[in-house]
Structure 1
């Protein structure tokens, strides 16, 4: 059943057309992923569906009585309201009913007249039926389920108005989930969430009884929860009945088919124009001119005018160009932690932390929010120092740091000023480099405080690319970026020959790039040789081992799984080589069929990148076999 119908809607801001003539049908129990580049109008469309904004043209129809839930901006609440009070507003009608029931109980205890007492009892019964039917006795358990899943239980007693922006957003998300609307609309719901909370949210949405539309750049999350992708590109909507991976594959196939159809039509148009030209030449050679040939030429011209011209599909859209070339090698040992501990006041963040990162390795640090991931990063940068233990940084290190909180101290600078503060080049050269990161024309004179989170990340990447960096330290590098930009960064990082240490909750990013995971939990770090999926599996086993009542868990027992993970490193590397070999083989098949030079060059570039990665893995295999 259709619960929302969008018919030929359009929206503009200040003369700038965001989209026009969009149509979409939203059905019951669908889980839709709304994707598209930053600035394509996804959030605007979501707000129109929510009824928060109105379209300029067209119509939107909702099913009668439809309840929608959208987290636009968390409102302010009275100063004395705690987080628990705020979350209970999701059940306001039930709480009002409960209050009436309490008042009726008092009245029934005082009433002596039988007829009035029976009326009160009947009214109480009706209210109680409503209260039970709508889950009134499960309010506390519902709140517990959501706050524990989102890992915000510790916030319940705190005053809402004293929370940080990120904490407010998480509480707002919890509030929307507790309201249980028929149509749940989520805009980047995984931002500010740690990995455990993201996985819980995924399972919550999969079991959700209503309809869900979400905007997300988290490809792993989209693959987990959605069964339909709506792609908003160049002001047009395309619908794909697939998860994100299926959508990406189908979109590529569609584009190739459309491009082939466009080429065929262009060939036909050229032939028709040549035929028209020849007919006119032949007609004019005759004396007098041959009217019959002129008539055939005019008929062909009219047919050409009536032909519905296909737009040329853009196979290679403008993307940021990231290339970390020309690095100077650092020493073999890059970062070493020995028995490191850190506390703030009476709170222990972590203790007995041991890490060893060598040149060329790509390692990730993950864990719940507040466990100390960013503190470990700051220790590597020597912004923070340990209470106990020793930290050694390698020789000849040139560190590039990309933080999710970039440019907090330079918001009044223009883009080009901020770029040239760190990269000493002429204005012309600076503009040329910034154009590779999609800062064109007058956009280089925008203030940094006017940039979105994704634009600030692009500016920082432009600065880092121009430096001779051999150690990249990344703190949530994929935050605020659209999927196209994230994929470009991933490709650049795959080809980076230096060392990468990253904090991230982007599981797709973690699985693609990193083959060692440092997992922060219970005030210590666990090391796993493998990608995120492997580390997650081993952490589950590790927790079960710790929680097992039948064993007395020793330090040796806890480390058993980590040792096993190291032994399985060989298997992981061999499987990755097999996958690369298969990918290279498939690309060679495509190359044999391809005729366009630009496409052939792109395919060859991909082969070169995969072969480079394969060589790195062979080196890792030799190293692992020698240990």
Structure 2
């Protein structure tokens, strides 16, 4: 059944057409990826679907009664709420119902009149049945599951208004998932997530009982989640019934066929025009002119006019023009960390860290959010000093740094001024360079503070390209770039003849470019000579029973040898229970709770209802205890 249909929709902005006459259908339970260049109108289409904006022409139809959940890139809520309170707004109706039940319980305990008591009991039974059916007893487990998967439990007690943009986005994503809508609209949900949370989210969406439409530039994530791809580019929308990898192949085949059809039509048009010209020449040579030949020429001319002309397909889309070259060779040893430890306050991030980068090597740093990846980068940039150990930078090393927070302190500088501040060239040359990064004409006078995340990243890449570097340090470089720009960046980095060090959550990017991985896990830095997939397999082997590293989280603390600061480590299973026993008991409890849920729906007797409710509460308490042990 069709969940949503878009019929010949047009949207304009400031007199410019963003897209025109686009149509699409999304079936229930489909998982659809929406791709396209930055600025093609993907987020605008989402706003139309979410009802936040109206189309200038055309219609959007939804299945009646469908519940829609829309994740904006940066959600907003009233001041004074903690992140957990923001998440609990997903259950406003259930919490109101729970409060009504509490009031009824109090009234029943005080009521002496049997007739009125029976009425109260009947009302209570109705509320309890609805509360159970709508998942009232799963509020805390669901919140815990999603907060755990997205690695945001440490954010829950914090004031939402004080969170960074990335942290707000993660909480907004959790809220959208907790609301459990029939149709999920997710705009770049993997931005700001670590590898572990991206993996968890992909698994969650694959098993989601509803329809999913997601904008993403993460190719691995799209392959995992999407079974259909929509490509929005140049004001047109094309549909591909496959995952991202299949879409790339099919799109190329379509383009080649379209170009072949276009060329064949051009040949036919040329022959028809030549035939018209010849027939008229022959007709005019006759004396008197041959009307039959003129008639044939007119017939061909009318056929040519009626022919539906094919548009020349754009085989190569406009992309940034990026080339990276090392200015000159550095010494053999580029970066050397020996026995480094770093922490803040009483929390130790990592200890005994050793890193050695030689000239020309390509290394990636991976790990959960909060484990110290960016801190390691700051130590290498010498923006921070280690608590223990030594950080050395080799001779003649010239560093180019790409921060994940590009121009976060942007003032009122224009794009042109900002570029020339870093790269002292004449205005004409600067404009020529910026055009290679898709900043055309008046766009160079746009204020940096008004640029989108992708535009800021392009501006910073333009600066980096013309800086004197032989060591590139990249902190989440794939954030905000569209897939076309990502591919250009990858090609440029692949041909870069200097040294590369990057932090990234993009598996595709990591596997393509890096053959050395430093993996931070529970305060320890592991080193692997291979790409990310190889490092992942090796990390699994280090864990007991090949536990899935993407379902592990480090939250408890143990003392280090000195006893003065704490280091995060994986929770351990207690001595009295094996991992298998706990997992088996957890599974049994889940089945019993599910069985009790079904029983609660059919119970009419209040006394039995209360007994089952009490039994379920006890099982859920035990479920939480085992869940905590397994973590």
- Structure 1 residues without counterparts, runs of 5 or longer: 549-554, 556-627
The 5-angstrom pairing of residues 276-315 of structure 1 reads: 276-315=276-315
Aligned residues: 548
1:422/1:235 CA distance change after superposition, 3 Å: same
Identify the residue that residue 555 of structure 2 maps to in structure 1.
none
User: Is it true that 1:88 corresponds to 2:82 in the alignment?
Assistant: no
1:38/1:547 CA distance change after superposition, 3 Å: closer
For residues 347-387 of structure 1, what are the alpha-carbon distances to aligned partners after superposition, in whole Å with 9 as ceiling and x for unaligned? 21211100011111111011111211111112222211211
RMSD between aligned alpha carbons?
1.7
Q: CA deviation at 1:514?
A: 0.6
The 5-angstrom pairing of residues 102-501 of structure 1 reads: 102-325=102-325, 327-501=327-501
- 1:376 and 1:545 map into 2 onto residues whose CA distance is 30
Q: CA deviation at 1:161?
A: 2.5
Q: CA deviation at 1:252?
A: 0.4
Is the partner of 1:467 in helix, strand or coil?
coil
Q: CA deviation at 1:78?
A: 4.8
For residues 170-196 of structure 1, what are the alpha-carbon distances to aligned partners after superposition, in whole Å with 9 as ceiling and x for unaligned? 111111100000001100001111111
For residues 142-168 of structure 1, what are the alpha-carbon distances to aligned partners after superposition, in whole Å with 9 as ceiling and x for unaligned? 110010111111122222223222222
For residues 64-99 of structure 1, what are the alpha-carbon distances to aligned partners after superposition, in whole Å with 9 as ceiling and x for unaligned? 1110001235232351x3222221111111111111
1:429/1:159 CA distance change after superposition, 3 Å: closer
- 2:133 and 2:427 map into 1 onto residues whose CA distance is 68
- 1:410 and 1:293 map into 2 onto residues whose CA distance is 72
- 1:322 and 1:479 map into 2 onto residues whose CA distance is 17
Deviates more, 1:121-130 or 1:181-190: 121-130
- 2:483 and 2:354 map into 1 onto residues whose CA distance is 34
- 1:78 and 1:406 map into 2 onto residues whose CA distance is 27
For residues 507-551 of structure 1, what are the alpha-carbon distances to aligned partners after superposition, in whole Å with 9 as ceiling and x for unaligned? 110011111111112112111111111212222222327999xxx
User: Is it true that 1:76 corresponds to 2:82 in the alignment?
Assistant: no
- 1:300 and 1:159 map into 2 onto residues whose CA distance is 74
Is the partner of 2:543 in helix, strand or coil?
helix
Is the partner of 1:77 in helix, strand or coil?
coil
Q: CA deviation at 1:284?
A: 1.8
Q: Conserved in 1, the CA contact under 8 Å of 2:540 and 2:547? A: no
Q: Conserved in 1, the CA contact under 8 Å of 2:326 and 2:497? A: no
- 1:107 and 1:281 map into 2 onto residues whose CA distance is 103
Identify the residue that residue 530 of structure 2 maps to in structure 1.
530
Q: Conserved in 1, the CA contact under 8 Å of 2:325 and 2:498? A: no
Name which structure has the greater RCO, CA cutoff 8 Å, separation 6+: 2
Q: CA deviation at 1:112?
A: 1.6
- 1:414 and 1:47 map into 2 onto residues whose CA distance is 29
1:203/1:309 CA distance change after superposition, 3 Å: same
Is the partner of 1:396 in helix, strand or coil?
coil
Is the partner of 1:324 in helix, strand or coil?
coil
1:449/1:267 CA distance change after superposition, 3 Å: same
Identify the residue that residue 590 of structure 1 maps to in structure 2.
none
- 2:415 and 2:444 map into 1 onto residues whose CA distance is 5
- 1:169 and 1:410 map into 2 onto residues whose CA distance is 21
- 1:442 and 1:374 map into 2 onto residues whose CA distance is 36
Q: CA deviation at 1:215?
A: 0.3
Q: Conserved in 2, the CA contact under 8 Å of 1:94 and 1:136? A: yes
- 2:325 and 2:145 map into 1 onto residues whose CA distance is 49
TM-score of the superposition, structure 1-length normalised?
A: 0.85
Deviates more, 1:140-149 or 1:426-435: 426-435
- 2:129 and 2:326 map into 1 onto residues whose CA distance is 73
Q: Conserved in 2, the CA contact under 8 Å of 1:5 and 1:60? A: yes
Is the partner of 2:401 in helix, strand or coil?
strand
- 2:193 and 2:10 map into 1 onto residues whose CA distance is 33
Q: CA deviation at 1:325?
A: 3.5
User: Is it true that 1:50 corresponds to 2:35 in the alignment?
Assistant: no
Q: CA deviation at 1:409?
A: 4.1
- 2:515 and 2:166 map into 1 onto residues whose CA distance is 30
Q: Conserved in 2, the CA contact under 8 Å of 1:410 and 1:418? A: no
- Structure 2 residues without counterparts, runs of 5 or longer: 549-560, 562-631
Identify the residue that residue 552 of structure 1 maps to in structure 2.
none
- 1:92 and 1:412 map into 2 onto residues whose CA distance is 42
Is the partner of 1:196 in helix, strand or coil?
helix
Is the partner of 2:518 in helix, strand or coil?
strand
Return structure 1 stretches of 4+ with deviation > 6 angstroms. Answer: 545-548
- 1:344 and 1:403 map into 2 onto residues whose CA distance is 21
Q: Conserved in 1, the CA contact under 8 Å of 2:406 and 2:456? A: yes
For residues 232-288 of structure 1, what are the alpha-carbon distances to aligned partners after superposition, in whole Å with 9 as ceiling and x for unaligned? 111111110000000011000000000000000001111111111111122222222
- 2:32 and 2:108 map into 1 onto residues whose CA distance is 50
For residues 291-318 of structure 1, what are the alpha-carbon distances to aligned partners after superposition, in whole Å with 9 as ceiling and x for unaligned? 2211111111111111100000011111
Identify the residue that residue 580 of structure 2 maps to in structure 1.
none
- 2:78 and 2:449 map into 1 onto residues whose CA distance is 28
1:155/1:324 CA distance change after superposition, 3 Å: closer
Is the partner of 2:341 in helix, strand or coil?
strand
